Structure 1
Amino acid sequence: MKKSPKHTRRIPLFLLIYLLSMPLTAAEPTAHKPIEPPQSMVHGKVTDTEGQPLAGVNITVESSNQGTISELDGSFTVQAAPDDVLLFTMVGLKPLTMPIAGRDVIILQMEEEVTQLGEVVLNAGYYTVSERERTGSIEKLTSADIEKQPISNPLAPLQGRMPGVYVQQSTGLPGGDFKIRIRGTNSLRPNGNEPLYIIDGVPFPSTAITDSRVGSASVTSSPLNNINPMDIASMEILKDADATAIYGSRGANGVVLITTKKGNTGKLKFNVHLQTGTARIAHNMDLLNTEQYLQMREEAFANDNAVPTPANAPDLTVWDRDRHTDWQDELLGGTAHMNNVQLSASGGNAQTTFRLAGGFRNETTILPASFGVKKINGSLNLNHRSLDGRFNATVTANFVHDQSDMLSGLLLFPALKLAPNAPEPYDENGDLNWADNTWSNPLAELEKKYKSSTANLITNAHIAYRPLPGLELSSALGYNTLSARESQYTPHASIRPSYRAFTPRSANRNTSAVDTWIWEPQITYETALGKFRLTTMAGATLQKTTAQRYVVNAKGFNSDALMENFQAATTLQIYEDSETEYKYQAIFARANLSIDGTYFFNLTGRRDGSSRFGPGRQYGNFGALGAAWIFTNERIFGNGTVLSFGKLRGSYGTTGNDQIGNYQYLNLWSPVSQPYQNISGLAPSRLYNPNFGWETNTKLEAALDLGFFNDRLMLSAGYFQNRSSDQLVGLPLPGTTGFTTVQSNLPATVENTGWEFQLTTKNVETDNFQWNTSMNLSILRNRLLEYPDLENSPYASTYVVGEPLSVQSGYRYTGVHPTTGVYEFEDVNGDGFLSFPDDVQVLGDLSVDFFGGVQNTFQWGGLGLEFLVQGAKQMGTSAAFTFDPPGFLSNQPIEVLDRWQEPGDVANVQRYASTYNAAAFTYYDLLVSDYPLVDASFLRLRNVSLSYDIPLPSRAKIGVRCYLQGQNLVTITNYKGLDPENPGANQIPNLKQYTLGLQLNF
């Protein structure tokens, strides 16, 4: 803090008057020392408006920038002159200045800071901006929202809370993946739509480093599972061009900024957070019981004029016809358990603060085995600033290590498709029951072994120095290492006995690591002249990412016990042994101009260089312009109480995209699949093409922000248009070249448009009771705007110009023929046959039409209640898509009872078939028709949190908070499958969870 000009003038003026008033005969001194005002000790106490003492308040003497911190009882002592001014500050409270005015004792109260737009600070990555002055589209989630959900992945709390951000959980098993799309799908490449993740300034991988060739039986893991949600202070989502352009090509699909918690000033504080919970599948599908199932099977054989035998129908001829097992309960009906312990300590003074935290989390599964994920975490944050406030340094480190033996949802299909009279899984000796080799025992999958160990370390150091007022020089250096080692074993115990003779034991192993370091120097200058305030910034980015992967397969073990020793295998095959390097560098600049706190202009420019492009194509220029006008500052609006705030904002700009993988422009040679005379050779597998360049994303947005009744009601509405062109996908080649495609920029353009609405209200706000509501709604439209010569490309049957990328094309289903009892489809060309592609039509799409959420928060004294309802309007794939043709040796949804039985019947399901015949093959035509496309819209009570702050006397010096949380408690939907969020019944659904928690602060 600078010295007050007021006080630096008063002392010399006092001396001048004193000297002029002395008698002329007095002897004049030969030298003078500055006369310091007398200093004395000032004592005091700081309390809140209810008289409770406040600890950790910063008290600063304005003239000297020296100060102290209030004690636990709110008391303080500071040395100051009688005419000094004290400044009192504390996070969450209104700053307060208090003249000493000659007093020795000062007692004062500090008020809570009522959140206003200008006081909500948003992290935009390289800079911060207030909610009031922002020109870009930025959404924020705080730790208060994150901690109200018993989650292990930071993306989970985003569901239903932010407009334009759709998050989908892929599985209900622990450690599963999440899919996030920020304002839609931009790229034709499935792996080209991930956002950029930045954690404390360090880029973080968006794709898992586990390998499907090894972990085919494991859960597809999200790398963000290696971030502890309890350590997160806030998450910001950058969406439009103005917000993302500062990240250049890396921000083409949006940016997710994660900031971890830091220490606070004051005495040493401890926090203990304990959680325990359970989870189960919310509901089962309605399937046939034993009586209905056997009736279906017998009718199928009668329709085919076939005779059941032990070979083709053990369920009818061998197995117990009176036995009934609900395989959904048997295989998926378990209870998963979760335990979480987190400890932290923080404290510090006005110059140095710290936070040290660590914890342990254990999650099990609903599967009938002791699988699960164990995770330990630790974090450290140190922050120091000099006495004069010119120098600041911050060091952060976050570490997570997890171990998993979590098998995937391979038991899902047996749970749905096994005959209800299938044999007992275990015999009287407790061994797997193979029932004389008449079935594949589903619990044999549990004999497979999978184990993985993943470690993640993120470190960052940031220093800043202010040599002159308004000028700041800073530098950030970050490092992230993410490593994984996983193994999968398929012993003979997991193989059906009749298959063991020709199915050897096998084991796969993957060792992978991704190391990233980044250095970003930066200079910022801020100046003000009258009504104008200009902030400029320039910087550079140097980033390098190195990835290693070693994947090997071993076969021919003599015993299940030797499978962890690959030297005991007779055959070793290296699937991959690679090391790749990605280099990225950029320079960027930003200028922000504010005029009278009413008009705001933000100009951003960036030049990026990527090693993923060939010589001469490695660099791209990107930029954006954002502007905002707070029109309620104009005189015409006066000080109206109805419309208290109004702002128009907009942005336009371009970003790039280089998410194509490394070395795609180079020739690639791969080992031949069949060695000749035991000598392995090489064959070309990719052509050289250095001429393709950046995929370009152009973004446009216009928005209106309004506040009513002193900002108690805030409304935001925005429209955006994103166009992604120069698509980086395969260019089709003639078969005579020996290649089907070559990497290139296709002249295709994908467009995403949409409306986003957000409403927040303070419904009731009294001293004892508060009720707040937040609502958001997103209406999105995705389409392939143009694709020249699409009909002659490899994507002719995948995409349609003018339709969404998720468009579904196929046959148009017309019903069951009343005479033949077989499904029928529309014959477009009228030739009397069902042919591809002549009879293929556009049927619909699987994109989300609109989604949103409603959150209500109630606070009555120490009692708090919050619930979030999430909804989505979408089409999905019917769960029937998972099942075999009705009549096969496979259970079915109960809807198949409405089937054709005799000529003249009007039914929804064709006649049953027992084997592959004309009716069965027609069933597979049905699966590529519009029949499986169903309404998968849902309304879900995503989260409920009930908490209570236990009142204790102040002398206890401890705060106690207990809570009960629920996840996925109620789902309203017409979808017949397990989970409308993941339609198709090919994943374990999201689980219904209950969590009990206890938080101690002392």
Structure 2
Amino acid sequence: MRSKFKWIFALLLAFSMQFSFAQEKTITGTITDGGLPMPMVNVVNKNTKVGVQSDFDGNYAIKAKTGDVLEFSFVGYSNVLITVAAATKVNVPMKSDAQQLGEVVVTSQGIKKEKKALGYAVTTIKAEEFAAKPSTDVVRALTGKAPGVNIQQTSGLSGSGTNIIIRGYSSITGSNQPLFVVDGIPFNADTNSDGNFLEGATNASSRFLDLDPNNIESISILKGLAATTLYGSAGSKGVVLVTTKSGNTKELNKKMEISVAQSMFMTEISDLPDFQNNYGVGNDNEYRTTFGNWGPSFATRGEGGIGMDGTVDHPYAYYGAGVFPEYLNADGTPKKVAWRPYDNVSPFFTTGTVSTTSVNIGGRAEGTNYNLGVGHTDDTGFIENNNYRRLNLNTGGSTKLGNGFTLSTVMNYVRTDKTAPLTGYGYGSGSVTPSTFATILYTPRNLDLFGLPYEDPNTHESVMYRRDITNPRWLLKNGSDEEAVRRFYGNFTAMYDINSWSNVSYRLALDNYTQSKRYYINKGGNESRDGYMRTTFNENTIFDHTFSYNFNANLDKDQSWTLDGTVGLNSRMEGYDYTYLESYNQFVYGFNEHQNYEEHLGYSDHQNQNIVGLYGSATLGFKKYLFLNVQGRNDWFSSLQKENRSLFYPSASLSFIPSDAFEFMKGSKAVNYLKMRLSYGSSAGFPPPYQTIIGLESATTQFVTPSGETVNYIAPSSRVGNLDLKPELYKELEFGLETKLWNNRIGIDLSLYDKTSTDLIIVRDVDPASGATDRYDNISEMSNKGIELGLSFALFRSDSDGFTWDLSGQFTSNRNRVERLGDGVERFAYAGFTNLGNFAVPGRPLGVIMGSSIMRDGNGNYVVGSDGNYLVNNELTEIGDPNADWRSTVINQISYKNVTFGFQLEYQQGGDIYSNTANALLSRGVTEDTNWDRSRTYVLPGVNVDGNINQIQIGATQYGFNNSGFFIDEQSVFDATNLRLREISLSYDVPKRILEKTPFGRMSISIIGQNLWYKAFNFPEHLNFDPEVMSLGVGNGQGFDYLTGPTAKRYGFNINLTF
């Protein structure tokens, strides 16, 4: 009986245990990262396929049975698997996954998305690729690191401007610079030049120079229109999203971390020409006081104006006894100097220094993140009177409140001061406006520039052996281009979590800066004989308000279908105030205040425009391998008439990942990842304010009263308003492919795009009888087609000894074409001069260079005149195309244990440049390229006017000077194909075992060089010319070098410490 009872009891116990295992219960807990709660974490019961998300406090609740497996996942974090046991409360700590974090990118309006869900191209560049580099300009540090992004400096002077163009030029007269957004703040990155390129526009700094590269966490570049739709027309030329350390809202793992970066770099002129030292000043082998270097050889004695003792008259003797009596004999005859060459160029250039110090303090405390930073840069250029100083102060933080609110803020203050020499347009025979570099390089070899005075001791006027040329040493001492900027930008953001899958946020952003400039030259120079001074003050302000509703939801219980998106309202006010005062005729030399000048001319301007945008975006996902995104934005602009103010631009994109969709591809070692994407985007470019009406402006002096007083008056502008002016329209179709092959050792990222621009605005002439000269009109069309290819190779990996070898490459090619300009418009000059500049011509790429050329016969032969020189065709002819055929970059990195060696090579194929540097050096005969036998005669290839082969002999001066680019524009155009070593570096990370007993958590030392070597294959060998200059300044003009400043090379070291 007792035995039977035991069996019954055991049976009942087993049944009850089986029932308890099968019974469903509610599992609850808190999900954290570093002790802080994590909202919106996906929690899925893998047995029932039911999923939930954690709330804003990190809490979750899900039904499960004992033995079920719960999976916790969040983008950028390692998945966590937990088997349900008896406990009903399960707290889950999660850890970030570095590999997954690399797949999360920042997109429009600061929205973070998985990269695989994007149907358009985004390039993300990490801090280590641009921080602590020799360049103090963060954009220049990005050169060659993003396909489809063309970055070019105006010159190598410290503080000079930088041009950045994404996927070609989309507008003819409008800006083609991208929008910069810093921590959600629309950031004014304009290059405010007071004068045109004749007056040194290349000196103007681009305002993204205010950013401290050492305070930047990452940069994302949105290139296509589908990627930038949510920013409206402001993002139509691409968007550069900058996330700083102060604006980074990710939760930190330490209570406090202090990082210090100190760098010291040297800066030098990139190279100098190889000068010939066999011939001196003169013409036709005769010593003359010209500025050409076609005189006798330095071995000449007793002929060509050279004495038997190898001397010539002192070049300053002609100033007379009243100025330089020391150069005259007692009888008033000139003293003699040796007929020999001097090094009269290299002493102008020095070795400058670039010192940068950055300190950053970050941490967390009780749900609050904070960051404080300070940076100081002192950048002295490679020539006297060139310096750039910057002070950056920044702070930011975020905190989670217990009521579902998250508050964050970022504040930045920047102070910059810059001085630069005057760098006006130089054309090979001096300059129109003061230009330091206009005469330095082609100074005759026999002129001892640094052994002779540069100013009249009595009047302080410039002196040189030619009175009509300003001594460049005098110009360095008596002229300056100065700039001071004071800037504040920041934001405040409040976000409220409605539930675990949606929130609302409001962001207020402000960017305000004032810019003061002073440009002056004392009296006594040849280009501004009586002195000149100009001061300007401008204030730029952007107020930006954004309200958005954001959601991320699962549409079914197994989370196969997901939907995330945002709906927002954006309002932006842009204000611009400008005052200008220029003064002429200096009274007292050396005193540069406006009251020390006789005549004055003032000007002021005030502009305001308001933009309101309503936008929305939604992404539908299926099983994490298929994503459809639709976006749209409607902008209302105050700068146009009412009927043209509103414009809607939609976009759509599709992302498909076959490697996740098909079972046969999962786990493949050959194809680890494959993604295909397709997108369509649209946007617009709105014209600047006040172009739809006739404005009023100050006219020149028109009347003189009987008492002799001048009377000014206000007159209508010469440009008539266009009431029907509309925004430019842009559309783009993009296809892309991304893949990882052979155990992720090979990566490919390919993009193909086709972008069209219609209703483009150009300036069109109007009937003079109307009282005006021209107006803006929507009459042109243009297209861009291109390919962007990114490659990566993990050539070698060894976990045993820590040896790695990585190679990456980029290829970019863009084909631009002006489709039409408008009825009756054959060409349109938009940059440079009307007889030598960049033109828009139907059927040709934007910016072709047009100027004078050598006359040709019907068979294309050069035509030579009766004097043996080429005949000039002064009708405008296309003489060059500044657009490169393609560009490529190779980045190599080899690491062994704690040592890393890397370099970056860049190659440009094609792209012409009109070079006055080459023209001046060659036509003046000062480089080794012209060191040929000048005693013989030469015959130019070509035919005579009668069609016979030319046989007319000419001398060396005619051959080298008369037929140069000095007289024929075509002769100054060169193919700018070049290869350069953009960067080379060697770094050492101190092992942690060495740092264990120190306060430092990390220490690294790097040696870096930038632009240390280059080769322009199609320029004369001994010019050593670097074509990476833009003498027309930042903007749409390209392919011109007007002696406005050479490039620079930089090298040095930096130390990074963390504790």
Matched, 1:196 2:150: no
Deviation at 1:673, TM superposition (A): 2.1
Which residue number in structure 2 is paired with residue 847 of structure 1?
Answer: 883
1:174-573 to 2 correspondences below 5 Å: 174-189=158-173, 191-212=174-195, 216=200, 219-261=203-245, 262=248, 264-289=252-277, 291=279, 293-294=281-282, 298=286, 320=337, 322-332=339-349, 334-349=350-365, 351-367=367-383, 369-387=384-402, 390-409=404-423, 410-425=435-450, 434=463, 438=467, 440-446=470-476, 447-492=478-523, 495=525, 503-530=529-556, 531-560=560-589, 562-564=591-593, 566-573=594-601
Note the C-alpha offset of 1:641.
1.5
- The corresponding residue for 1:778 is 812
Spell out the pairing of 1:963-982 with structure 2 (5 A cutoff). 963-974=1006-1017, 975-976=1019-1020, 977=1023, 978-982=1025-1029
- Cα distance in 2 for partners of 1:895, 1:727 equals 45
1:898–1:754 distance in 2 versus 1, CA, 3 Å:
farther
State how far apart, in whole Å, the 2-side matches of 1:953 and 1:884 are: 57
1:859 equivalent to 2:892? Answer no
Q: How far apart in 2 are the matches of 1:318 and 1:846?
A: 50
Instruction: Look up the match of 2:726.
Output: 693
Output the CA distance in 2 between the equivalents of 1:151 and 1:356. 23
AA aligned to 2:681 is G
Which residue of structure 2 aligns with residue 824 of structure 1?
870
CA apart distance, 1:460: 0.8
Q: Does the 8 Å contact 2:132/2:261 carry over to 1?
A: no
When residues 385 and 112 of structure 1 are mapped into structure 2, their CA distance, relative to the original with a 3 A threshold, is closer
Give distance in 2, aligned partners of 1:179 and 1:778.
17
- Asked if 2 retains the 8 angstrom alpha-carbon contact of 1:911 and 1:919, the reply is no
* Equivalent-residue separation in structure 1 for 2:277 and 2:283 (angstroms): 10
For the residues of structure 1 that align with 2:1049 and 2:483, how far apart are their CA atoms? Answer: 26
Cα shift at 1:426: 5.9
Mark the CA change 1:435 to 1:163 in structure 2 (over 3 Å): closer, same or farther.
closer
1:706 maps to 2:734: no
**Match status 1:662 vs 2:651:** no
Cα shift readout 1:347-376 (whole Å, capped 9, x = no counterpart): 113611101000211011211x35311111
Correspondence for 1:828: none
Structure 1 SS opposite 2:777: strand
1:668-817 matched pairs, under 5 angstroms: 668-677=695-704, 678-685=710-717, 686-746=719-779, 748-767=780-799, 768-791=802-825, 795=829, 798-810=839-851, 811-812=853-854
Residues 521-545 of structure 1 deviation map (CA, whole Å, 9 limit, x = unaligned): 0011222123211113111111001
* Cα distance change, pair 899–581 in 1 and its aligned pair in 2 (3 A): farther
Aligned-partner residue type, residue 408 of structure 2: T
Stretch of structure 1 that moved more, 401-410 or 481-490: 401-410
Structure-2 separation of matches of 1:899 and 1:133: 68
Q: 1:322 to 1:763 in 2, by over 3 A?
A: same
Is the CA contact (8 Å cut-off) linking 1:171 and 1:177 kept in structure 2?
yes
Query: What is the number of residues matched between the two proteins?
Result: 915
CA contact (8 A) 1:124 1:236 kept: no
> Which is further off, 271-280 or 895-904?
895-904
- Deviation at residue 805 of structure 1 after TM alignment: 0.9
Deviation at 1:237, TM superposition (A): 1.1
Contact 1:900 1:906 survives alignment (8 Å): no
Q: What TM-score, normalized to structure 2?
A: 0.78
Give aligned-pair identity as a percent: 19
Counterpart of 1:418 in structure 2: which amino acid? Answer: T
Mark the CA change 1:485 to 1:101 in structure 2 (over 3 Å): closer, same or farther: same
Equivalent residue for 2:983? 943
Corresponding position of 1:7: none
> 8 Å contact 1:290–1:322 — kept in the other structure?
no
| CA deviation profile, 1:264-299 (whole Å, cap 9, x unmatched) | 242221111111110112321234436255575529
In structure 2, list runs of 5 or more residues that go unmatched: 1-15, 21-25, 44-53, 59-66, 296-302, 307-311, 319-333, 424-434, 705-709, 943-951, 1030-1039
For the structure 1 residues 94 and 326, does the alpha-carbon distance in structure 2 shift closer, same or farther, using more than 3 Å as the test?
Answer: farther
Amino acid aligned to 2:818? L
Residues 1:891 and 1:488: Cα distance change in structure 2 (over 3 Å): farther
CA 1:776–1:427 in 2, change beyond 3 Å: closer, same or farther? Answer: closer
CA contact (8 A) 2:118 2:653 kept: no
Partner deviation per Cα, 1:6-63 (whole Å, 9 max, x = no partner) = xxxxxxxxxxx99x99xxxxxxxxxxxxx99999xxxxxx9xxxxxxxx967699999
RMSD of aligned Cα (Å): 4.3
User: How far 1:622 sits from its partner (Å)?
Assistant: 0.7
Matched, 1:589 2:616: yes
Q: CA deviation at 1:443?
A: 0.8
Alignment-mate amino acid for residue 202 of structure 1? I
Query: Aligned partners of 1:66 and 1:580: how far apart in 2?
Result: 44
| CA deviation after TM superposition for structure 1 residue 386, in Å | 3.1
Q: Compared with structure 1, are the counterparts of its residues 563 and 964 closer, same or farther at alpha carbon in structure 2 (3 Å cutoff)? A: same
The amino acid that maps onto 1:895 is D
Pick which of 721-730 and 445-454 moved more.
Answer: 445-454
- The 2-side partners of 1:772 and 1:109 are apart by 34
Residue 264 of structure 1 contacts residue 354 of structure 1 at CA under 8 Å; is this kept in 2?
Answer: no
Conserved 8 A contact 1:734-1:740: yes
Aligned equivalents of 1:298, 1:744: Cα separation in 2: 57
Tell me the amino acid that sits aligned with residue 792 of structure 2: T
Counterpart residue type for residue 712 of structure 1:
R
Contact 1:546 1:580 in 2 (8 A): yes
Matched residue of 1:549: which SS? strand
> Would the alpha carbon gap of residues 467 and 812 (structure 1) be closer, same or farther in structure 2, given more than 3 Å must change?
same
| TM-score, L = length of structure 1 | 0.82
Quick check: 1:961 aligned with 2:974? no
Give the CA deviation at 1:490: 2.0
Residues of 2 paired with 1:754 and 1:278: CA distance? 38
Describe the shift of the 1:116–1:551 C-alpha distance in structure 2 as closer, same or farther (beyond 3 A).
Answer: same
8 Å CA contact retained: 1:812, 1:843: no
Name the structure 1 match of 2:604. Answer: 577
Q: Is the 8 A contact 1:509 1:551 kept in 2?
A: yes
Q: Does the aligned pair in 1 maintain the 2:376–2:389 contact within 8 Å?
A: yes
Instruction: Give distance in 2, aligned partners of 1:581 and 1:713.
Output: 51
For the 8 Å contact 1:520–1:540, the answer to whether it is kept is yes
Contact preservation (8 Å) 1:886, 1:913: no
Alpha-carbon distance change, 738 to 344 in structure 1, aligned in 2, over 3 angstroms: same
- Name stretches of at least 5 consecutive residues in structure 1 with no aligned partner: 1-16, 22-34, 40-45, 47-54, 69-82, 826-833
SS of alignment partner, residue 726 of structure 1 = strand
Aligned equivalents of 1:256, 1:944: Cα separation in 2: 25
Once residues 420 and 86 of structure 2 are traced to their aligned partners in structure 1, the CA distance between those partners, rounded to angstroms, is: 70
Which residue does 1:998 correspond to in 2? 1055
Alignment of 1:71-86 (within 5 A): none
Q: Which range moved further: 255-264 or 509-518? A: 255-264
Q: Contact 1:630–1:648 (CA<8 Å) still a contact in 2?
A: yes
Q: Is the 8 A contact 2:566 2:618 kept in 1?
A: yes
